[in-house]
Structure 1
Amino acid sequence: MERAGLYQLVNYENESMMPTEFPNNDIMVEALKCLYNLAFNSEVARALCVHTSIAHGLIARVRIYKDISSKEDIMLFDMKLLFILTALRQDITNKIKDELHGMDYLTSCINELLLEATPSPIVDASASICFIEGGPHCFLTDIQEGIICEVLKTQFNLILRPGLDEGDDSDETMYLKLMPVLNSLLAVKTSSEDKLMELRSNIANLLTAIPNCYYSILTPKLNPGENPPYVYDGLNMNAIQALLELLQYRLTKTTSATSHYENLSPILTVLNKSARGCRAHRKYLRGVVLPPLRDVSNPPEKGNTIRNQLCRLLTTPDMSVRSLVAEFLFILCKEKVGRLVKYTGFGNAAGHLAQKGLLGGRSGDRNDYSSSSDDSDTEEYREAQPNFDPVVGCTRPPRINPFEGMSEEQKEYEAMKLVNLFEKMVTHGVVKPARVGPDGRPQPVEHVLQLRDETPNRTQSS
């Protein structure tokens, strides 16, 4: 700790009195690497850290980063050490958050990095990577991006408290400071797409631990003269678009079913919370993910749009991801069964509807949604609707009647053959007959007369 320059910071309460010059930065960095390896590999070493002032020293140095020269490597390994300690020692986590006010200092640290990274308003053409339509944005170097990612991971550890409710009133000030900084981070540029998506992934991970009542801060009202590229209802939607781009990136890059949960669950959780917690977010997401249907000649799972890729995940073997995707689409459809079936096909949506007890056509809880309908059918969809098959979610050409030209005896013979084949499948346990019960979920049928007892009353909601 002494070689890492942490001991000399412990006894100073006033940051103006803390030393900002250190004898040898290289020695400090190597000492921090050793501390990190010890903390990562040894429970005994982590336990010893509880009884030292290492947490105090790390947070003290965070407070004076802006005054330290040649600090990037020191910051990176300070944050790596903070992350591993907060990930593996809950007592250190509690101390950093509650006693040392670590969340506030880490948020200020990100803000300082953003201020340092902001380019001059006058740049040449070679620096145009720093700009998108609507004005200049920060450009982060690789090491700045790496530092911020470690800070975000540490903040996730500080916010996430297993077994406790998601935030409380005492955390309100913390979230009100943090969310505008995350909004700024979602607008930065980096040296490559992979670095940018790594940064956004860490932002999404942190957002999963933040109550969705604060998500509206991500989409501030437009200022006079402001012209961002993504706007809805007078709100700047750049942050939500950045999260959608992360989803698209993850959907494209995730090819193995074994990595679906790790790669997709954080961003899907964030978009679920965003759509459910903020009406403007839901409407914007709906317009991008589920635009009005035009070409319905192909099944909804075929294609490369976000809707197509999400519909493919409705039948993935990973039940957690499947539920997140289905819930996201269901929220975008204002929890209307008929609308969900229209966009996904009943075959893709059946599992989710059965799980929620909505197979009978009853829609979900719509108390949180406006009564106005924003689902206007296109002319192309209305023309194709007579041939639209809701089971597969696309049109089917008119089919020839298989009984055409058969006598009544032949029809009866084919019908009995079908009955016998079905009975054989039931006997061997290949299929099990079911009906929709009073709770909207499938219930097994023990006798054919049960199917005749009551006629299903299925109302489709648009």
Structure 2
Amino acid sequence: MVPDIERIIESIVRRDQDSVQLLLNSYNTQYAECFFFNTEEQERRKDLSAALLCFIGSQLQPAVLRVSLHTLRILSRDRRALGHMVTDSALLTLAHMGGITTQQDNIEELEKEEDGEVCRKEALKVLCNVIYNSPRAQERASALRLLQGLWESLKEEIWSKVPLSCHFYKLRLLFLLTALRPELRLQLQQERGVSVLTKALEQCLAVRWGVEYEVLTDSTQPPISMEVSQKVIEILKTLFNITHMFHRQEPDEEDAALYRHLVAVLRHCLLLSCEGEDTLEELQGHTVNVLSALPLTCLDVLVSVQVDQASHKCEGVNMDCVHNLLLFMNRRLNRGQKLKEKLTPVLNLLTESSRVHRETRHYLRQKILPPLRDVAIRPEQDSSLRGQLVRLMTHVDTDVKDCAAELLFVLCKENVSRFVKYTGYGNAAGLLAARGLLNGRMSSSNSQYSSDSDSDTEEYREAKAKINLVTGRVEADQPDPMEGMTTKRKKRHVTSLV
């Protein structure tokens, strides 16, 4: 039987800790996965959260404090029943219990408890839920300068040799604050956020440095654990929050060195293996997001590494990182879900990298646009990477369509005839029209590319005269509709058409 909330509140008022623990354990078990309540029940839950917030501020047994925070975590999932959890007092109480404060008295008392670490985790989980679910809590957290206390706490842990186990939840809270409050992104950027979070990545991944801007990657190392992967993901998400606003700005010498250092670590992230394919996909996805937010001039680090042990090379340049980006793009293409969110960042990254790095463009062109041989099928019907990207050129989402077309156009060195050759005029028309190139003129930016050749295969040369430029394939011969007609019938048929 589910305990009555009034009974729980009565036990809290009496300070009967044994009864509170028993009732809350039962309540948590019954309502842990329940999110739908009527108005009366929501009001009662608000009353319970108010009573618990007062209760946890008193001297409690560790087990009672833990179950009380667990109950608050369950209550905080429902944004309609937050009640007193969005007040300044509640936010400060939860922050102090989570180890976010410049006043050490409360933390020291909690640390004396044998399961204080568990309670800190629970408090941080509650705080994350409240911040996520309440715009009011987000505004008050900013006004109360919670980010400053959180950042100081994190920096202390990042620079220490033995980070606390609740490190992850502080990183999650940091991400939420910077994602939901624009002014906090700028504040963290000004607090050397990129430098410190890069250091946090190095610490999580036990990075070993070789020559300048090169992280040593050992393929014999076991996959990184799920716990480490989740911390890395939270760091990457926050890094994106504080770097994407500077994407189009030209960095000064100091910032350029900082971003190149970060790109070297991100390159390492792309080459890692993780426990679980989904975790690896998520980690690489957030890595791509950060890379796409950094200044283009700093991305040369992705290929400026030693080529001796490279598995993939192009013109004497290490292409391992580019190859992994290509595999990542292919996986996202095959999944076909949330293409705008999941696919456009890697398409943009490959496009911009191809535009500024000749070797990257050549390697991607070999993989995506190899010399044409089979011209009997339409480009969009091909099962290759080229075919998948050409199909996206007529996608209903404009961003997806434009990104796919732009990548192929750049791989063709923005040459109109070459672009039409690989995609068909019908598929290419959208991009060409947008650029005013439907008359076949060369792109104005074509001169920035090197003058390499585009050798045609023997199969393509033989079929070239028969290729329909609109569809991009050799069309089957159509039967003559007048075949077998007498001259008289032909004249009569022509007359009827007129």
TM-score, normalisation: structure 2: 0.72
Q: CA RMSD in A?
A: 3.0
CA offsets, 1:345-400, max 9 Å, x none? Answer: 11211222122111111121212101232x11122222333433222222233343
Q: Which secondary structure does the structure 2 equivalent of 1:301 belong to? A: helix
- Aligned-pair CA distance for 1:22: 4.9
**Alignment partner for residue 371 of structure 1, among 430, 451, 472?**
451
With a CA cutoff of 8 Å and minimum separation of 6, indicate the structure with the bigger relative contact order: 1
* Change beyond 3 A, Cα 1:292–1:22: farther
Q: Which secondary structure does the structure 2 equivalent of 1:171 belong to? A: helix
Residue matched to 1:5: 99
* Change beyond 3 A, Cα 1:109–1:93: same
Task: Tell me, yes or no, if the aligned pair for 2:233 and 2:286 is still in contact at 8 Å.
Answer: yes
Q: Which amino acid aligns with 1:246?
A: F
CA offsets, 1:403-442, max 9 Å, x none? Answer: 45557776676567667xxxxxxxxxxxxxxxxxxxxxxx
Q: Give % identity.
A: 34
1:212 is aligned to 2:296: yes
Task: Tell me, yes or no, if the aligned pair for 1:62 and 1:109 is still in contact at 8 Å.
Answer: no
Q: Which amino acid aligns with 2:130?
A: L
* Change beyond 3 A, Cα 1:320–1:48: same
* Change beyond 3 A, Cα 1:10–1:281: farther
1:168 is aligned to 2:247: no
Task: Tell me, yes or no, if the aligned pair for 1:261 and 1:318 is still in contact at 8 Å.
Answer: yes
1:195 is aligned to 2:279: yes
2-structure distance, mates of 1:83, 1:167: 25
Q: Which secondary structure does the structure 2 equivalent of 1:136 belong to? A: coil
2-structure distance, mates of 1:188, 1:414: 70
* Change beyond 3 A, Cα 1:235–1:332: same
**Alignment partner for residue 332 of structure 1, among 397, 411, 414?**
411
CA offsets, 1:41-81, max 9 Å, x none? Answer: 22222222223342223222333335364734x12211111
1:157 is aligned to 2:241: yes
Task: Tell me, yes or no, if the aligned pair for 2:303 and 2:321 is still in contact at 8 Å.
Answer: yes
Residue matched to 1:232: 314
**Alignment partner for residue 398 of structure 1, among 477, 487, 490?**
477
Task: Tell me, yes or no, if the aligned pair for 1:142 and 1:191 is still in contact at 8 Å.
Answer: yes
2-structure distance, mates of 1:77, 1:167: 34
The 5-angstrom pairing of residues 348-387 of structure 1 reads: 348-364=427-443, 365-373=445-453, 375-387=454-466
Residue matched to 1:101: 192
* Change beyond 3 A, Cα 1:412–1:319: farther
Q: Which amino acid aligns with 1:353?
A: L
1-structure distance, mates of 2:492, 2:346: 55
Residue matched to 2:345: 266
2-structure distance, mates of 1:372, 1:137: 40
1-structure distance, mates of 2:257, 2:181: 25
Residue matched to 1:434: none
Q: Which secondary structure does the structure 1 equivalent of 2:447 belong to? A: coil
Residue matched to 2:131: 39
Task: Tell me, yes or no, if the aligned pair for 2:101 and 2:150 is still in contact at 8 Å.
Answer: no
* Change beyond 3 A, Cα 1:27–1:179: same
**Alignment partner for residue 27 of structure 1, among 109, 115, 119?**
119
2-structure distance, mates of 1:57, 1:418: 83
* Change beyond 3 A, Cα 1:360–1:58: same
2-structure distance, mates of 1:33, 1:51: 20
2-structure distance, mates of 1:415, 1:326: 43
Long gaps (5+) in structure 2 = 1-94, 210-216
2-structure distance, mates of 1:355, 1:409: 50
2-structure distance, mates of 1:166, 1:418: 63
